[in-house]
Structure 1
């Protein structure tokens, strides 16, 4: 009796969102943990006194280029299944696609220590096995964001769309926090090998819970209440009829291109900061950042603040739309502009104020924190916009966008490597990197503000008499918002 009484007490869309949030913590934890752990795996960056179980002989002698290859190889695989992943989720359900992907990623994580050792420890050795393993992890995770986007189009009503989308996908920020801070503490306490084993096992436990308690749509959920089901269906513009993808309309749609450009440029800045921030702090402030825990704390703090800010921004965005203070289009543009504009200002500060003589530790940490926090406004901005313009094909369109955008995840580190190879301790070399990033973000902000649209596109409208009647009665799906 208790089990079947759940539907009178638990809101299934929130259960999905909470489990999705935890899943995306693991999604990012397992992809970026090596960004910090690699500083404890290698000889050249190992600055702390070795403990009794670790000697110079079992640290890898990798130079900066090799370390960047290990970090960025994830994204060579990450490109491949973005588009197929979105379409598979639309046709077969995002639950299975996401669950299987993260299950495979957790198993591959358990193999990282062995793969690293098989490549050898010497300066002339190259970690081919580890690079290949990381690429396979990227291949597995490449379906995750398109899959959850497809599920959100089924589960997130307009009046809560920004919040539910942000709640789940901001797990990526918390995952980055855990990857930097949690991994730093774990490495110092237990060693780098144990850290991979622990995180891989915990992710597999989440996969089991996800597969048991989550369902693809409200209509297939056995425990959802009729009241919640009606509430969700009143605020979405999608049905479960499988339709052919209108490829020509998608490719020629200006609002789609606005989302593409925003995604591409945001990914450049996001992944660049995620991969280079630990190294920037370590090289420029080497006297302060002397162990993995310290680096982990101060690289995690900006993402912790960003997560809090993203929740606030999303609730504010939903409120502005629900109370009709802003149209969906203007709300998406406002928060996207806030994200891009804030990032540009912060990056210009980093590029112009710190110097080799006065690197400005406090200013740097504050600026990175503000940059990440205000940048999180993209969650209720362009990231949610995919579901507005084409909910039936949101997974496919996001897959196309992300497959191109994630190129930046390994292009960014390559650009950084080229600029910093001469002397990564020279703050002037980092200045050029921040200027390039600010220029890219500024362009994206202008392009999106001009061409974005929050309305359902004509080529994506559903052939459903029932949904059309609901739309005529309540155009923005708010009729039940005061009843539930």
Structure 2
């Protein structure tokens, strides 16, 4: 009868294999997936109120409410596509690598036609344009089941580090993208915004291709901790005797202090 179990993990300094990390195709696939989403988010979400004002000529009091609607689409999209991806994987219909790629491409390429449709709408089609923008962001959020969780697949020990690096890069991009959008749309015409939207479609297609070519869902060899050992102390009460054992991370059978299997 086991009455008490204690798990104690040795603490040690985490060594980061920078060279192998930086030269990893899987890492670059995920990093570029992050940057693709960052470019789209900043171009279309941050600058969205400007588009609604200049092209659709929405009333300023209504602009704030309408500009928030695509984010509502993102919330529902994240929930739905997250559930669908888990459902597919639980049935083993796709490997984790193919699952990540399918949802990344679904978000980027599947949402692109709605963005192209929007470019042909004017102020008389404001309601339709807003609906299409919500649908666009709803579908684009399928990417959350692609690049967003991919670092945890390929390098779980370094997922926080890699996510932090990508967030810093996206922060750097966020400084320049609005400046570029403003430079492309000096007069705020529909034709100028069409250039912005088509540019976003191009970024989407390129991002999808790069992710398919580079991404992986398997933990990389350089990211594994081959020396990981966990010390497990098990106290077994039987005839007033105590037995202590230890096990390693590679599931070595539990042995007692006399070398016998428990």
TM-score normalised per structure 2: 0.80
| Aligned counterparts of 1:342 and 1:254: Cα–Cα separation in 2 | 25
Q: How does 1:428-447 map to 2 (within 5 A)?
A: 428-447=191-210
Q: How does 1:114-153 map to 2 (within 5 A)?
A: none
Pick from 138, 146, 158: which aligns with 1:381?
Answer: 146
Kept after mapping to 2: 8 A contact 1:284/1:359: no
| Aligned counterparts of 1:242 and 1:454: Cα–Cα separation in 2 | 26
| Aligned counterparts of 2:69 and 2:194: Cα–Cα separation in 1 | 22
Gaps of 5+ in 1: 1-225, 231-237, 471-484
* Alignment pair present for 1:305 and 2:87: no
| Aligned counterparts of 1:273 and 1:414: Cα–Cα separation in 2 | 13
Pick from 334, 340, 343: which aligns with 2:108?
Answer: 340
* Alignment pair present for 1:242 and 2:22: no
Structure 1 residue aligned with 2:215:
452
| Aligned counterparts of 1:345 and 1:360: Cα–Cα separation in 2 | 17
Pick from 106, 110, 121: which aligns with 1:354?
Answer: 121
Cα deviation, residue 331, structure 1: 1.1
Q: How does 1:4-403 map to 2 (within 5 A)?
A: 241-286=12-57, 288-291=58-61, 294-351=62-119, 353-355=120-122, 359-403=124-168
Kept after mapping to 2: 8 A contact 1:239/1:392: no
For these two proteins, the number of residue pairs brought into alignment is 229
| Aligned counterparts of 2:31 and 2:10: Cα–Cα separation in 1 | 25
Cα deviation, residue 346, structure 1: 2.2
Structure 2 residue aligned with 1:467:
249
**Partner-residue secondary structure (3-state), 2:149:** helix
Structure 2 residue aligned with 1:235:
none
Structure 2 residue aligned with 1:20:
none
Kept after mapping to 2: 8 A contact 1:306/1:373: yes
Structure ranking higher in helix proportion? 1
Structure ranking higher in strand proportion? 2
Kept after mapping to 2: 8 A contact 1:313/1:380: yes
| Aligned counterparts of 1:467 and 1:308: Cα–Cα separation in 2 | 39
Gaps of 5+ in 2: 230-247, 253-262
1:239–1:302 CA distance, 2 compared to 1 (3 A):
farther
| Aligned counterparts of 2:178 and 2:86: Cα–Cα separation in 1 | 36
Kept after mapping to 2: 8 A contact 1:281/1:289: no
Kept after mapping to 2: 8 A contact 1:265/1:405: no
Larger Rg: 2
Higher relative contact order (CA 8 A, sep 6+): 2
Structure 2 residue aligned with 1:213:
none
| Aligned counterparts of 2:10 and 2:177: Cα–Cα separation in 1 | 39
Kept after mapping to 2: 8 A contact 1:389/1:454: yes
Cα deviation, residue 302, structure 1: 1.4
Show CA shifts across 1:224-254 (max 9, x none). Answer: xx9xxx9xxxxxxx99643211100111000
